Amino acid sequence: MKNIILVGKPNSGKSLLFNQLTGMRQKVANFPGVTVELKSGKFDQYQLVDFPGTYSLQSLSRDEELAIAKLHEAMHSDDTSLIVCNLDATRLERSLVFGLQVRDLAFQHNKGLIFALNMIDEVSRFGHHIDTEQLAQDLGCKVHALSAKTLIGLHEFRLALLDAAQHPQDFIPLKTEEASQPVLEISRKLSQQYGIKADVVLKRQNKIDDFLLNNVFGGLIFLVIMFLLFQSIFTWASPLMDGVEAIVGQLAALSSSVLPPGVVNDFVTDALFGGVGSFLVFVPQIMVLTLVIGLLEDTGYLARAALICHKPLSFFGLSGRSFIPYLSGHACAIPAIFAARTIESPRKRLITMMTIPLMSCSARLPVYALLIAVLVPETQYLGGLLNLQGITFFILYFIGILTALLVSTLLNKLTDMNTDQAEMPFILELPTYRLPHWKPLIHRVLTSAKQFIKRAAPVIFVVSVVIWFLGYFPQNGDLQSSYLAMLGHWIDPIFTPLGLDWRYGVAILVSFLAREVFVGALGTLFGIEGADENIAGLAANIQSDGLALGAGIGLMLFYVVALQCVATVATIKGETGSKKIAWGLFVGYGLLAYFLAFLAATFI
């Protein structure tokens, strides 16, 4: 299958165009450097490949370096049929810098090339018109005006793209009279001739930035937005969580009443509904987290947040660009570690990657939600807009961030400054403010829940079955005389100083496979123990069991800090090329987590 290569600068609507052409719902983010891997999808009989966004063929970051290397590789490949270069119609000069370089590269390798002039709807909104036919003559390539968001010109572009892919030799760039001039000079001249004036586009943006980036109010607004982000995870998701818990409880009660008493009934009730069902209750929080972060990305606020955070993060030896991987780490550490490639400084990139595991990822959400529901009352403020449980959520996330900053400071002092390259100035493009494209955003939210369940459910199911079997036999449901109790009492001395009994110890140990397994393991254990009682939520079972406040807080602190994700360890090893760093973080964060849990259990 022949390939069509899609390239362009970051934040130019390229990924959304890719989605529209392939029907895939790739993540579309409104800040530079979001795409760190090649994405591909089928377009007719061709494979459309979305390359990471780059500003120039001269790389400034590892992300761009990899993208440019892959682009040169694609230019040499016989499988590459056509190059599509996406241009931002609202910022033509910046887009053409890269576009002209790609044009020259396509000419050198005898590859067909067409330009997609994206975001034409925003240009039209300001009453401006771009003469695409004349621009095509000056560029020596076909230019197609379109809007991937409003679908203006998209049907015509599909037809033109298919024709160009079938006859790529007819679309090899032509040499123009200006081809010998410097790229910056040509792009500036063409932008002045065809593009919309920058002050027209920036007028509204600057008014908003004057408020959001104000020296006094900007930081306060940022803190409020971050507080609402973490508050929403608990407050907004609470009705959905209650609904899922009710459904799981009703299904468990129905299956228990239908199945005859015995081993099968106990297995379905305790292992399936007690283990896997307890985990599903917390999936709505993953969806809310993805939705809120997606809104911040698509509207363009994340780039502003990175700018606001640059100065305070510099104090800890980081860069403003570290903010984006840090925030992404609250969804999942693995893509966040990849996103750190956009940090130009190798030292700051390494420190960022090493501290990303301290961000509270979505796998920790079920653990936090369970323990908060057990320990913190549902006290509400401001008519229910805020509640104490949501505030506790924010505090846990803040502790993770604070720990990451303190560790960053330590690593920065321990890192040999002489081994680093010269520090480059912090430069970040501020995208225009835009309304989110809701269809991909909602799809992203649903996909995040689907992927989370797909990744975690099989592990939780296997662990739940194993724990149920070991906890049910040999006495058919007597947990205290089970095989699992024998194992639990053997490891009990490790967790007794933390104020936890062997059941929590078993759940903690198996959660080193994946943090969210903790909830499923406890659900199975408490399900076996309360098999003859009315089915209740796991939080209610733990409350009735009497978890001490200090032990509960220590348990939360343990999960804030401990690195309990094998995939994250493997990713750090791959990105740093060092087993010593990866496993050193695993052991170091584990010991720190145990120490904090011990302090909480001892003094609270």
- CA-wise closest residue to 336 among 11, 588, 575, 60: 575
- CA-wise closest residue to 33 among 443, 300, 343: 343
SS3 84: strand
In the chain, domain spans: 3-196
Measured in degrees and rounded to the nearest 5, phi and psi for residue 42 equal -85, 130
CA separation, residue 426 to residues 10, 310, 312, 321, 326 (Å): 17, 8, 13, 8, 17
CATH for 3-196 is 3.40.50.300
CA quadruple 481, 487, 492, 493: dihedral, nearest 10: 130
Helix, strand, coil: what percent of the chain each, to 5? 65, 5, 25
Burial of 538 (0-12, 13-18, 19+ CB in 10 A): buried
Q: Which two tokens stand for residue 441?
A: 């955003």
Question: What's residue 395's pLDDT?
Answer: 92
Are the C-beta atoms of residues 523 and 469 closer than 8 Å to each other?
A: no
**Gap between the Cα atoms of 378 and 384, Å rounded:** 10
Chain-centroid distance of CA 190 in Å reads: 37
Q: Which residues of the chain have pLDDT under 50?
A: 28-36, 417-421, 531-536
**Gap between the Cα atoms of 449 and 465, Å rounded:** 23
SS3 114: strand
Give the helix/strand (H/E) hosting 83.
Answer: strand 80-88
Question: What's residue 202's pLDDT?
Answer: 65
DSSP state at residue 480: G
> Which residue do the tokens 């733990």 mark?
542
Question: What's residue 100's pLDDT?
Answer: 93
Are the C-beta atoms of residues 18 and 7 closer than 8 Å to each other?
A: no
- Quick: pLDDT tens for 246-262: 888 888 888 888 888 88
Question: What's residue 24's pLDDT?
Answer: 61
Question: What's residue 419's pLDDT?
Answer: 46
Question: What's residue 530's pLDDT?
Answer: 53
Tell me the CB-side half-sphere exposure of residue 258, using CA atoms within 13 A.
8
Burial of 270 (0-12, 13-18, 19+ CB in 10 A): buried
Question: What's residue 198's pLDDT?
Answer: 65
Measured in degrees and rounded to the nearest 5, phi and psi for residue 318 equal -115, -175
**Gap between the Cα atoms of 295 and 298, Å rounded:** 5
Question: What's residue 540's pLDDT?
Answer: 85
Are the C-beta atoms of residues 157 and 144 closer than 8 Å to each other?
A: yes
Are the C-beta atoms of residues 196 and 126 closer than 8 Å to each other?
A: yes
